A and B are shown apart, each in its own frame.
Chain A
Amino acid sequence: MIAPPKPDLVTVNIDGKEIAVPKGTNVIEAARLVNVDVPHYCYHPKLTIVGNCRMCLIEMGMPAVDPVTKAPIIDPVTGKPKINWIPRPQIGCGTNVSPGLHVKTTSPMVKDAREGVMEFLLINHPLDCPICDQAGECKLQEQSTGYGRGYSRFVEQKNVKPKRTQLGPRVTLDDERCILCSRCIRFSKEIAKDDVLGFVDRGSYSTLTCFPGKQLANNYSLNTVDICPVGALTSTDFRFKMRVWFLKQTNSIDTETSVGANTVVWSREGQIYRLTPRRNDDVNDTWMPDSGRELFKSVMSADRLAATTHLDARVAEAAELFTLNASAGSIAVVGSGRSSVEEQFLTKKLAAALKASTQLVSRVGQGDQLLISADRNPNVRGALVTGLISKLPKIGDAPAASRSANGDAAAPIRTGGLTDLAASIDAGKVKVVVSIGEDLVAAGLTAAQLAKVSVVYLGTHANATSAAAKIVFPTLSVFEKNGTFVNQQFRLQKFAKAVPGPQGATDDLIVLAKLTAAASSAAMASDLGSLWKLISAEIPAFATTSYAQLPETGILIDATPFAALPFVEGETLHYKPAAPAVALTP
């Protein structure tokens, strides 16, 4: 096996600790590696470096070298190499490590520099903390605790700037709070590729502005709210809703597309207040699309399904239906690319027990080459790996109504993949359809075809299929259960339960297990621990995977068995397709 190339390592000394870091690392990141936090505002690991906030100033020095012999000069007192400390502090973000670099992050010079910058940032900053959403997660508040003077010496008039500008449909701007770090401008230009923000005027009167007539309306606008170190850019939706220190944070995955952007769900007492991205340098960096954030709104929507009868009664009813249609092929199971790996595993077991055909609904749209991929199902690959399906579902031809939540004129999403099922229904072969969260009409079946079969529906929201279904099992959304998805990179990532589901809804795994048990007359586990024992035993790709030890940033699984399949995704932030993406025929 060829050993991976060793990164070029450089040895530096930070506060007396020696550490070897890859060449090209800046001092802030190097310090992080020895658990030293260098305060900063304008620096962001995923944006270009501007070095304008001056908060990361630290003391640096290089070993003294004899100019003629180039030999290091040793201090006779300490016996250690003499360090020429630079008399002026240097910014950590703009300095890359060099061999022998010595850094002091807590010297009197550094303390003085930080206190100076802190004071300067606060003199024109409005005293908005009591009404500012950023409180509790505000970098200015945090650094003031460490480096603030504690009282103000500024007795002049503070600058007045516009305070409540609607920068776009989802972002509100308060210019007085802005510390002119330019993170939002850099993000809009470099990442979102939507150069609409800039500073107008000069000096301390510089003001963040969106070009008049334009809006910060791209599908990544809320990332500027995440990266704004203060409360200048805030989410209009979240404004004044909740103090962040009351919110519980739960790790989750964006189910909008197969990118599988890592997220954090912020909730309190069973209610979700907002979604933010979670850093994963292999998947989504520190970003997520705005449209993915709005998905939590559906948790409490009016069309949420709730059961009125007892679970076991409905299971019994379903079992009866299955018995009446016991011949092979008279039951069809429609799985979902939105189901978790564990649910797909159980779906496969159920289909086997019912001697039913399996199919998946495809959901294909326009990729944006950033964090929205063409595949709008988060877990088609989970269905492949678990063996629920062996080939990709066909792409639907007629465009369905666009589900784009943020109102952008997105290309409509095509749902499809049920042509074989439609034919079987018309031929009279299939009499019962078990649908795991998929609206069969939206996926391509006609109302007439739907009328020909008895439907057992597991799902969260009402639709044409649930309305026509004989038995309905209301289940849980991604925010209300635990599980894993396999994203477009064949990365297994887990999501966790943030809030309890509504009364009357049951965990999908419990429903599937009970139905499987009823169909096969053998017990089936529904808890993740037991399920994963079975999964590891039966699915080669997961042979050595442990759910309990799955890291928060996921693991890649072996994708070679599926290499030849025509995946629809084109290039996104951290994904390059092996073969050119399948073109969508009009």
Chain B
Amino acid sequence: MAAPAQRRIIFQHIDEPGYSNDLACYVRNGGYEVLKKSVTRPPAELIDEVKKSGLRGRGGAGFPCGVKWGLVDRKSGKPIYLIVNADESEPGTFKDRYIMHQDPHQLIEGTMISCFANNVKQAYIYIRGEMPHGARILERAIAEARAAGFVGKNICGTTYSCDIFVHRGAGAYICGEETGLIESLEGKRANPRIKPPYFPAVLGLYQCPTIVNNVETLCHVKYIAEHGGDAFTKIGTPNNTGTRIFCVSGHVQRPGYYEFEAGKITMGQLLNEVCGGPLPGRTFKAVIPGGSSAKILRFGERFKGKRKVGAEMVDYDWGVDDVPMDFDSLGMIGTMGGSGGVIVMDDTVNMVEALANINAFYSHESCGQCTPCREGSLWMKKITTRMVHGQARNEDAALLKSVADQIPGRTICAFGEACSWPTQSFIAKFGDEFKQYPETKKAAKPVGAHELV
């Protein structure tokens, strides 16, 4: 079956010739009409639409946005904050970049609608420090919007006021974790908070109820506000509604961003048809479907079981190519949809070296607060680096697995899972390669292979 066409809702204008990131262009294309209508509606109605839509967070966790908004403590009397998580740092992910640089007003409109729905008077966009142009573009866009009455006092002539400030990060991946982000916004080291009791919906920024949403998620809110939650459910597949922006990188002919309805395209269609398949003379070896934190899939693996389709339980028997790209299917086969960052590796890649690269990333980014992640991530990095550049032992594979098994579930935040799932899945799927590495590393590298660590 041929791959479906892209459905460019969020990315409608990305890389469109003649489209510029200023207010005039956005308004010419119908911009801020949805905001104008939204501020005349009861806020609760907007929240309801988002709940109905089944929109799931696009930052990596896939947590239902409507549920997140529903958890906000509205009785405390404290101001409610909304933070746009624009700290895109998950390796393999590069979608929010385009939205912010090329279509910032879409984000601003989505943010303002979300703020209005949740009675938020102050929002912050936390953008990673390595996107200085993005920060400037957003600030300019906010200034334009403010001048036009779409941000700031008396939005669209109503009594509702809400302002947005841009806040730049400074190079820490852990600022993508919502409580780490909040700590960073408060001017401290980005150490995630223990939950309970510090659930952002109750005790977030300045100990006030806070909503943290990903850039892409807020853009979907704009669509939902315009067309309604029910219309959103007709895009994508049940429980995996809407479109997803897949960011494909690595060893494919046409890496890049692609927006498809969630669950309506399979991995094989995405990689082979849309992205043109492997590089000449190569074959696909492995793919990480949801950012480097997601568990890796080995081409040749098969996944069998029963899954719910409509009201029935149906058998499935999939190879990697057959897996539909949605949260639930990917979760079912033992990985995750995550941030949508698809990293493809072909047969020139040695998995020990690839894992060493990933482990170096996580050990560098660990905040250092809690024992298992802090020590475990560095230990795994030291083992894989030693295997590649020093002495590799046959027992290192078992040691890696054992170390990785001691981390998930024991940490303050999901970084514990993020840093250990790669090691666990690499060893599980490519264990033989690890065991044989002491011998393989002495042999010549495959043609076209690159140094990875």
- The interface of chain A, by Cβ under 8 A from chain B, is 49-55, 57, 87-89, 91, 94-95, 112-113, 115-117, 119-121, 123-124, 153-154, 156-157, 159, 179-180, 199, 201-206
Contacts and interface: CB of A to CB of B under 8 A. Distances in A.
Contact of A206 (B196, B368, B379, B386): B368
A119 B196 contact: no
Nearest to A182: B369
A29 to B, nearest CB: 16
B366 A202 contact: yes
Given A116-B410, A203-B367, A54 B372 contact: yes
Given A120-B406, A203-B377, A156 B371 contact: no
B363 A204 contact: yes
A120 B372 contact: yes
Given A50-B369, A202-B172, 15 more contacts: A51-B412, A52-B369, A54-B411, A89-B409, A94-B194, A94-B196, A116-B372, A120-B376, A121-B371, A121-B375, A123-B379, A203-B365, A203-B374, A204-B368, A204-B377
Contacts of B409: 87-89
Interface residues of B, number: 32
A416 to B, nearest CB: 49
B382 A157 contact: yes
Interface in B163-221: 172, 189, 194, 196-197
B410 A89 contact: yes
Contact of A117 (B368, B371, B386, B412): B371
Contacts of B189: 199, 202
Contacts of B34: none
Given A51-B194, A52-B412, A54-B410, A123 B375 contact: yes
B375 A120 contact: yes
A50 B379 contact: no
Interface of B: 172, 189, 194, 196-197, 363-372, 374-379, 382-383, 386, 399, 402, 406-407, 409-412
B368 A95 contact: no
Contacts of A179: 371
B316 to A, nearest CB: 25
A201 B366 CA distance: 11
A154 B399 CA distance: 9
A154 B403 CA distance: 10
B366 A204 contact: yes
B399 A117 contact: no
B371 A120 contact: yes
Given A119-B406, A199-B189, A54 B371 contact: yes
What secondary structure prevails in chain A residues at the interface with B? loop
Contacts of A124: 375, 378
Contacts of A49: 194
Nearest to A122: B375
B399 to A, nearest CB: 6
Contacts of A123: 375, 379
Nearest to B197: A94
B204 to A, nearest CB: 17
A91 B73 CA distance: 24
Which 5 pairs, one residue from A and one from B, show the smallest C-beta to C-beta distance? A116-B406, A120-B375, A156-B382, A206-B368, A88-B409
30 contacts: A52-B370, A52-B371, A52-B412, A53-B370, A54-B370, A54-B411, A57-B410, A88-B409, A91-B194, A94-B194, A94-B196, A116-B407, A116-B410, A120-B406, A124-B375, A124-B378, A154-B379, A156-B379, A156-B386, A180-B369, A202-B364, A202-B366, A202-B368, A203-B366, A203-B368, A203-B374, A203-B377, A204-B366, A204-B374, A205-B368
A241 B348 CA distance: 61
A550 B84 CA distance: 61
A51 B192 CA distance: 11
A117 B372 contact: yes
A202 B371 contact: no
A202 B379 CA distance: 15
B54 to A, nearest CB: 21
Contacts of B367: 202-203
Nearest to B364: A203
Nearest to A198: B189
A105 to B, nearest CB: 16
A569 B376 CA distance: 52
Nearest to B396: A155
B233 to A, nearest CB: 25
Contacts of A180: 368-369, 371, 374
B196 to A, nearest CB: 7
A191 to B, nearest CB: 20
A176 to B, nearest CB: 13
B441 to A, nearest CB: 17
A119 B407 CA distance: 11
Contacts of A156: 379, 382-383, 386
A471 B409 CA distance: 74
Contacts of A119: 406
B188 to A, nearest CB: 10
Nearest to A93: B194
A52 B189 CA distance: 14
A203 B376 CA distance: 10
A49 B172 CA distance: 24
B172 to A, nearest CB: 8
Contacts of A52: 369-371, 412
A499 to B, nearest CB: 41
Nearest to A206: B368
A112 B407 CA distance: 11
Contact of A55 (B371, B399, B407, B412): B371
Nearest to A159: B378
A95 B371 contact: no
A204 B363 CA distance: 8
Nearest to B386: A156
A199 B375 CA distance: 16
Contacts of A113: 410
B399 A204 contact: no
A201 B383 CA distance: 22
A115 B402 CA distance: 12
B194 A199 contact: no
A55 B406 CA distance: 12
Contacts of B375: 120-121, 123-124, 204
A54 B413 CA distance: 12
A463 B273 CA distance: 98
Nearest to A50: B194
A199 B382 contact: no
A153 B377 contact: no
Contacts of B366: 202-204
A239 B424 CA distance: 44
A204 B378 contact: yes
Contacts of B386: 156
Contacts of A54: 370-372, 410-412
Contacts of B371: 52-55, 117, 120-121, 179-180
Nearest to A41: B371
A119 to B, nearest CB: 7
Nearest to B362: A203
A249 to B, nearest CB: 31
Contacts of B406: 112, 115-116, 119-120
Contact of B363 (A51, A95, A116, A203): A203
B367 to A, nearest CB: 6
B412 A120 contact: no
Contacts of A205: 368
A432 to B, nearest CB: 67
A208 to B, nearest CB: 11
Contacts of A201: 368
Contacts of B372: 54, 116-117, 120
Contact of A153 (B196, B399, B411, B412): B399
Contacts of A116: 372, 406-407, 410
Contacts of B370: 51-54
B368 A120 contact: no
Q: Could you say which of B363, B364, B379 has the most chain A C-beta atoms within 10 Å of its C-beta?
A: B379
Nearest to B378: A204
Contacts of A51: 194, 370, 412
